[in-house]
Structure 1
């Protein structure tokens, strides 16, 4: 196991689930088949996507209101996972049940707990107020990346790759990112802060912000490993009177397996003179970035899969935050294994 199970992970977006009772959404999460569906009261239910009678996906069946009917023999389940009907006999077998997973819907995300039953009460889903109003607007997308959860966290905790991978994002005149001087570590999170020198706007910054591209602005960048399932990065462009444009790039990382991850990306923004087309512009810019990130991460995963177990790679100063996040994830996995 290369990821902790005792953590909240995003199973789907609100848009994927729809606003009313709908069909099934099947997704593999933490090597577990899960079927999600919205109930008539508006809440979302999540069940293990296997019939208790035979190994057949419940998502291949159909709904009867808030009941799930297996498409193999017709065994029927309620939203708690309890089998309430077996067509071939009067009453269901004692203990016929599939696991129901705790679900929390907050902002654009539907969070699910696949870990130890009851553990969800001790560790609530992370708060994401920037995704829920207060002057913020957001656009998002979902993609599957054939790379391990750890690789994704490490990638986004070290943005020094921007010069090699995303040169068009760099403000004119900035040739290197300042070193990470502030890395804050708690028991379960890691964050860093980086201040950039004043510089004119890059074309994409001018396009989105509506600011004068001739002036120079300061920038502040932060990155936070919030939980194994969530990474937050902020980017603030400031003028003489304070912040002019605030951006938050939110990545919800949900392991599908040891070598594959569901990525739920949200780009949020607010500013003083933001372009009316900012959402469309930001979506295009960060989609292209994500395409390149995905290609590199999947290549790194393939190389790791091909490498002998003895192969080792070195760390550099820019890896300070990434190394600490890795330690947290490894510690959580070892704790779950009882090591």
Structure 2
């Protein structure tokens, strides 16, 4: 079946602009949804998100400084409060009427800072999806972030189908992924796609067995779960179902926060969480394995974007494994249509 793959991204959604640890009393400049944004914390620790451009002249506020609960331009000296209103001009007593910069709603969830760029009245009805495992001590978590030179839709497509993993990186791939994939079970709401499938029993990857101290040859049933929870968030998991006498299921949870920078660039914040092999030593062993895989994926998606830039989107030939991909695309198209 051939289905056209179109571009675009909803604006009435929460997008992760940074990790909580990145946002301090020092201004942090970034970009999202074709806008320059500066993030900083108030004296009480609340995160503020403002347009990163001085109202006086085109100079980034992120190159200025934070004083109290205001951010001060490093060029004009204009000071802006957390609402974006200019509250002080060094060269005169009266602040110019209406002088301000855009301000955006902010929420912290898990270890991420989420910002809303759409219609403010809709934000409370669509709160950021909880990601409590990112800060739960029952889970060991590591991760990273970077910018991928590709449209966010290409990242969504990739997360919705893991059957490519065995081709892209045989080292990280669970052995059970080699062969015909079982049928995918998909559950839909108006804005989410949740799917799962049970894979035949097979040994776990050698690197997982080494870190966890488990058998590298014993076949275990395995289960895949994926969830498109919002235009800016994927939360997936892979369970290796060890019996209780061997410690019980070993679970990886994969969190992908994706934020469009523009039509051809996407910020990707990724986290890998696990419920086994506690400690920094295991994380240090696992990090390069997952990081190498995500780098390969980034390079592939950037190549796809280069092909699209040169030849256009064209049409895709889809297979049974693309069931979740097609449902995610439908939701994104509907969200875009709702925004007009």
TM-score, normalised relative to structure 2: 0.93
Match of 1:187 in 2: 190
CA contact (8 A) 1:209 1:275 kept: no
Matched, 1:16 2:19: no
Matched, 1:33 2:36: yes
Matched, 1:217 2:220: yes
- How far does residue 275 in structure 1 lie from its aligned partner after superposition? 7.0
Match of 2:4 in 1: none
Q: CA RMSD in A?
A: 1.8
Match of 1:65 in 2: 68
Match of 1:5 in 2: 11
- How far does residue 177 in structure 1 lie from its aligned partner after superposition? 4.8
Distance 1:180 1:73, change over 3 A: same
- Deviations along 1:250-280, one digit per CA (max 9) or x if unpaired, are 0000110011000000110103x55762211
Q: Give the unaligned 5+ runs of structure 2.
A: 1-6
CA contact (8 A) 1:236 1:243 kept: no
What is the CA–CA distance in structure 2 between the aligned matches of 1:200 and 1:314, rounded to whole Å?
32
- How far does residue 317 in structure 1 lie from its aligned partner after superposition? 1.2
What is the CA–CA distance in structure 1 between the aligned matches of 2:228 and 2:248, rounded to whole Å?
24
SS in 1 for 2:104: coil
Match of 1:283 in 2: 287
What is the CA–CA distance in structure 1 between the aligned matches of 2:45 and 2:146, rounded to whole Å?
26
- Deviations along 1:268-294, one digit per CA (max 9) or x if unpaired, are 0103x5576221122111101101000
CA contact (8 A) 1:209 1:274 kept: no
Structure 2 counterparts to residues 304-319 of structure 1, below 5 A: 304-308=308-312, 311-319=314-322
Shift >4 Å, 4+ stretches? 273-276
SS in 2 for 1:239: coil
Q: Give the unaligned 5+ runs of structure 1.
A: none
Matched, 1:270 2:275: yes
TM-score, normalised relative to structure 1: 0.93
CA contact (8 A) 2:235 2:253 kept: yes
Match of 1:251 in 2: 256
Pick which of 132-141 and 262-271 moved more: 132-141
Total equivalences in the alignment: 332
Distance 1:177 1:9, change over 3 A: farther
